[in-house]
Structure 1
């Protein structure tokens, strides 16, 4: 028995494939095609016609063997066809989370290998710890506690250079960066504004926090961002519109129009 003969026999066994589906409790539609899947195997495709599975197909794989006429049902599976309605690809939760998704009570843990963070090698427990009123202390205890806290002592992980650079780029490209519409229309930059509070550390030259309640209050702004509420913006002079003179509406004369269209006073 040759391969060609056996493959032809398997391709012709549409009724065997359909009977396998019926026996499995399915109701296959029209036979769509047969495809040779390799040596001694052919796949038969049928319309599925299942509710909610538009365009899907039943696939029945029939198998043969040398020196035998027996046909074996190897596999039955439901597969999507052209134009099928498919569920979107699964995306891990940590890739689905977007800015603004966090709500009160939610917990969003940073991964152990988060590239934005690096382990802190020193943990003294004295950061931002200042002696109580009844506790003896040296004159410089308060300064030491403040400096220790600013250096990150006591925090298990600190911002990495990559994390810092990502944040800086995000802020620079965001709503409070130099290319924002507000900044483009402004005459003065934040770096020269009295409401501008520079950040500490490596980001100090480029970013600060706005303290103007009528502008970007509490937001990180780029030093070259700007708005119309700059501390040096001059107040309007109050001279009115220079394009038009005031009009005395007391000089108007009320007139009426007659039935023939004549104007009478």
Structure 2
């Protein structure tokens, strides 16, 4: 499309576009190109020298109207250019975290709607049934299972004490590095499954796949993935101030534009 006289003036109005950026407090670099955006609009592109925005460009859209020599600054935006540094697609934290990522001092809050947790007033069906026969109530099966009925041999008090001491002094005991850095203990965690019998007050099994999943943990052990740990506020300390480009529509410049 051949632009009329006013359109040609817009193509040549590099100084007007640069002045608009300077007035906005920016420091544009070299002029890169001028691209017609219709009969009465032209986009001017300049190098952008902003920390953290390598390869980005300033774009200033100038507009005119038939019958007037006035040039209006229509839009001023920062756009990515060829080979510019772009942020990767955002992925929610709960889709990035995998088992084994948790380390001492880390905080891993469970999502409020985490299907693995229910309020404590809800019957979660956590019971042991000796059989599924209708004439054997579940509560009787629970008692029979905890007493060890049906097994030929049971753990002696000495054997139980030895195991308790190992677990207490081990990786998932209250003296471990992870427990020392935790604000909450396992005894109050929704992922904590208490053991049966005499060891019930002191030990349980962790059911959190991101923490000590499947391991016997002490009731006073703890980690940053406790079910009640509050989520981080999201505040941070970026090295540079971010330029607000979140509301911009990214468009490609014409390949046959003249500068």
State the TM-score bracket (shorter-chain normalisation).
0.3 to 0.5
Question: TM-score, normalised to structure 1's length?
Answer: 0.41
Larger RCO (alpha carbons 8 Å, 6+ apart): 2
* TM-score where L is the length of structure 2: 0.42
